[in-house]
């Protein structure tokens, strides 16, 4: 699973929660969380679980399955 940054941001904002507050709740920096929301970085299963718990949503609400495009590239032709 990979983070769905847009969903995380949307749910966080709908809850009236600042980036800084959610970062504090999950024990990470606001910059780190910002990178997850913009999908510049991934997140460990533990971090995703903390985000889901803090937002009171199932983990499926903030993640997506990896697609073939997201998997490691194969040998070049």
Answer whether 43's CB lies under 8 Å from 3's CB: yes
- 10 Å Cβ neighbour count for 8? 25
Q: How far is CA 70 from the centre of its chain?
A: 15
Which pLDDT score, from 0 to 100, does residue 71 have?
A: 52
The full set of domains in the chain, from first to last, is 2-67 (1.10.260.40)
Distance CA 63, CA 67 (A): 12
Which pLDDT score, from 0 to 100, does residue 65 have?
A: 81
Q: Which long-range contacts (CB under 8 A, 24 or more apart) does 28-31 make?
A: none
Mean pLDDT by 10 residues, the chain (77 residues): 95 98 98 96 95 98 75 47
Which pLDDT score, from 0 to 100, does residue 1 have?
A: 83
């Amino acid at each position: 699973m990979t983070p769905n940054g847009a969903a995380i941001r949307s749910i966080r904002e709908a809850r009236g929660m600042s980036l800084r507050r959610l970062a504090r709740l999950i024990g990470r920096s606001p910059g780190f969380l910002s990178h997850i929301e913009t999908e510049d970085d991934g997140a460990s299963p533990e971090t995703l679980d903390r985000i889901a718990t803090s937002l009171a949503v199932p983990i499926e609400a903030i993640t997506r399955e990896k697609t073939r495009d997201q998997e490691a590239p194969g040998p070049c032709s």
